[in-house]
């Protein structure tokens, strides 16, 4: 299930930028030679760029000129990979950094004190200063840690199957919305089905049999298609829940342990990797005793709203896909809107994470957003200078006072002064280790109060 085609995942702008800024993007190979199987054979302006509730939007309708701060040197806004490839690349980097990964050890519980956490597995225990629960939707860390997991119950059961079909001509290829649900055949014999049963079958934990899949597929496709072999099948739902806090003392949650939702539009992997990019540098600074007060708590205040947006994005799609007259009316209106230039541009920006930002202090429109991939006159881009995970004070006007301020923070902030091909009217920026702009100015700087305030918010003297 981690390999093509079921393991295929869409990576979007924040994730792609994160991988690029850590020197990992070039290690992904699949997107270089494999087109997205969900986009169809049509290329060019009419190529499907994505979908919302199975309603496609197309490349030709997307007006990227409205994304004011996205430079021509930016990384791609979306590309495809697969779970196995992503895990391999990340594990290889972890090993290169000297991280030991112990596989096959299930956590059975933990106990925390004011100074650390003791984690238990079946036959041994581990001591640590912090515990980050990244153990999936059924997280033991979340359950043991007493985290509230609030949200909504499912509307459907989803099935991911690999089957042999006696009469495949009875099924349409691609994504098909029907009066009773949806089915999608990305490749011959690889079929995904959604049936609006209130999530009853998934919740029942019954075994998925050939007979059951055939009944469901016949109901949803409104055909008498015959399945001859069931090779593999898993079930899932649109249950949408989120931890009400991401921290309890020395225990933190990230990824599916912190939030679950329907896998519609490929948001889940990107959301989890975004959690990791945000939490990683903050937790490292805390462990190294280089964290100002409140740094670790900002992980929750920044990422929880992003998670909620994704859950609501998923819920909205499910509402439109319901087999009801009201949902069909909404579906028609959304289809019309998404066939417009403004509609497709908005949907692409939301789906690809172009709009993603954090509500940070500061008046500049770039504050809280991902740093544009500024290209220096020698062709080097700012993202290529971020592999070491350090913050950067980027100065386009060679201001000695800015360099002095950066030097006060030692190795926490790297000062770079150079000309770029397009500065987007910006004079200087303070870039956090995760690539988020903590402060920016478009004027000749005479008052450093706001910059000093921003630096003190994220780093320590």
**CATH number, domain containing residue 226:** 3.30.70.2450
pLDDT of residue 45: 66
pLDDT of residue 280: 98
Q: What is the mean pLDDT of residues 397-411?
A: 95
Tell whether 28 and 132 lie within a shared domain: no
Q: What is the mean pLDDT of residues 283-292?
A: 97
Q: Is residue 184 part of a domain?
A: yes
Residues 6+ apart with CB under 8 A from 240: 151, 152, 260, 261, 262, 311, 314, 315
Tell whether 255 and 123 lie within a shared domain: yes
Residues 360 and 438 sit within 8 Å (Cβ to Cβ): yes
Q: Is residue 293 part of a domain?
A: yes
pLDDT of residue 25: 96
pLDDT of residue 360: 97
Tell whether 195 and 249 lie within a shared domain: no
Tell whether 426 and 402 lie within a shared domain: yes
Q: Is residue 392 part of a domain?
A: yes
pLDDT > 90? residue 443: no
pLDDT > 70? residue 412: yes
Q: Which pLDDT tens digit goes with each residue over 111-139?
A: 999 999 999 998 899 999 999 999 999 99
17 exposure class (CB count in 10 Å sphere: 0-12, 13-18, 19+): buried
Q: What is the mean pLDDT of residues 379-404?
A: 96
Domain hosting 143: range is 102-149+242-321
> Which of 47, 67, 92 finishes a domain?
92
Q: Smallest Cα–Cα separation from 425: which of 396, 446, 386? A: 396
> Which of 172, 207, 237 finishes a domain?
237
pLDDT-based confidence at 44, cuts 50/70/90? low
pLDDT-based confidence at 7, cuts 50/70/90? low
pLDDT > 80? residue 79: yes
pLDDT of residue 445: 75
pLDDT > 70? residue 375: yes
Tell whether 304 and 442 lie within a shared domain: no
pLDDT of residue 447: 72
Tell whether 13 and 86 lie within a shared domain: yes
Cα 420 from chain centroid? Answer: 29
Tell whether 315 and 172 lie within a shared domain: no
pLDDT > 80? residue 450: yes
pLDDT > 70? residue 2: no
Tell whether 247 and 112 lie within a shared domain: yes
Tell whether 174 and 287 lie within a shared domain: no
pLDDT of residue 448: 86
Tell whether 209 and 168 lie within a shared domain: yes
Q: Is residue 279 part of a domain?
A: yes
Residues 72 and 116 sit within 8 Å (Cβ to Cβ): no
pLDDT > 70? residue 407: yes
Tell whether 37 and 179 lie within a shared domain: no
Q: Which residue has the higher pLDDT, 6 or 411?
A: 411
Q: Which residue has the higher pLDDT, 260 or 43?
A: 260
Tell whether 21 and 167 lie within a shared domain: no
Domain count of the fold of the chain: 4
- Beta strand pairing status for 131-133 and 251-253? parallel
- Beta strand pairing status for 413-417 and 391-395? parallel
pLDDT-based confidence at 6, cuts 50/70/90? low
Give the helix ranges, DSSP H, for 103-231: 140-144, 200-204, 210-221
pLDDT of residue 35: 60
**CATH number, domain containing residue 435:** 3.40.30.120
**CATH number, domain containing residue 276:** 3.50.50.60
């Amino acid at each position: 299930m981690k390999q093509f085609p079921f393991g295929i995942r869409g990576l979007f702008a924040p994730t792609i930028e994160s991988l690029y800024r850590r020197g990992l993007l070039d290690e992904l190979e699949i997107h270089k030679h494999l087109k997205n199987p969900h986009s169809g054979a049509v290329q060019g302006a009419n190529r499907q760029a994505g979908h919302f509730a199975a309603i496609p939007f197309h490349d030709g309708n997307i007006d990227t000129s409205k994304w004011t701060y996205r430079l021509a040197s930016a990384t791609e806004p979306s590309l495809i990979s697969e779970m196995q490839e992503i895990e391999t690349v990340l594990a290889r980097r972890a090993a290169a950094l000297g991280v030991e990964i112990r596989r096959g050890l299930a956590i059975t519980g933990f106990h925390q004190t004011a100074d650390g956490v003791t984690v238990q597995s079946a036959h041994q225990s581990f001591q640590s200063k912090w515990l980050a629960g990244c153990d999936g939707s059924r997280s033991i860390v979340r359950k043991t840690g007493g985290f509230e997991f609030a949200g909504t119950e499912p509307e459907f059961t989803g099935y991911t199957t690999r089957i042999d079909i006696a009469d495949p001509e009875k099924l349409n290829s691609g994504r098909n919305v029907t009066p009773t649900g949806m089915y999608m055949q990305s490749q011959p014999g690889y079929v995904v089905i959604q049936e609006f049963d209130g999530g009853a079958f998934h919740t029942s934990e019954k075994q998925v049999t050939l007979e059951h899949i055939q009944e469901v597929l016949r109901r949803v496709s409104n055909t008498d298609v015959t399945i001859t072999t069931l090779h593999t099948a898993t079930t899932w739902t649109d249950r949408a829940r989120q931890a009400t806090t991401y921290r309890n003392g020395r225990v933190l949650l990230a990824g599916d342990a912190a939030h679950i939702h329907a896998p519609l539009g490929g948001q889940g992997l990107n959301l989890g990797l975004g959690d990791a990019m945000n939490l990683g540098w903050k937790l490292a600074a805390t462990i190294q005793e280089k964290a100002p007060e409140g740094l670790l708590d900002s992980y929750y205040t920044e990422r929880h709203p992003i998670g909620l947006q994704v859950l609501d994005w998923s819920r909205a799609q499910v509402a439109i896909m319901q087999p009801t007259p009201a949902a069909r009316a909404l579906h028609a209106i959304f289809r019309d809107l998404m066939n417009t230039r403004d509609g497709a541009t908005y949907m692409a920006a939301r789906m690809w994470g172009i709009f993603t930002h954090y509500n940070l202090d500061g008046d500049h429109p770039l504050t809280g957003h991902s740093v544009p991939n500024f290209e220096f006159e020698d062709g080097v881009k700012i993202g290529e200078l971020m592999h070491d995970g350090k913050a950067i004070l980027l100065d386009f006007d060679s201001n000695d006072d800015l360099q002095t301020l950066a030097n006060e923070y030692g190795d926490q902030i790297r000062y770079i002064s150079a000309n770029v091909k397009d500065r987007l009217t910006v004079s200087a920026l303070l870039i956090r280790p995760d690539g988020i702009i903590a402060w920016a100015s478009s004027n000749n700087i005479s008052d450093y109060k706001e910059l000093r305030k921003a630096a003190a918010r994220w780093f320590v003297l």
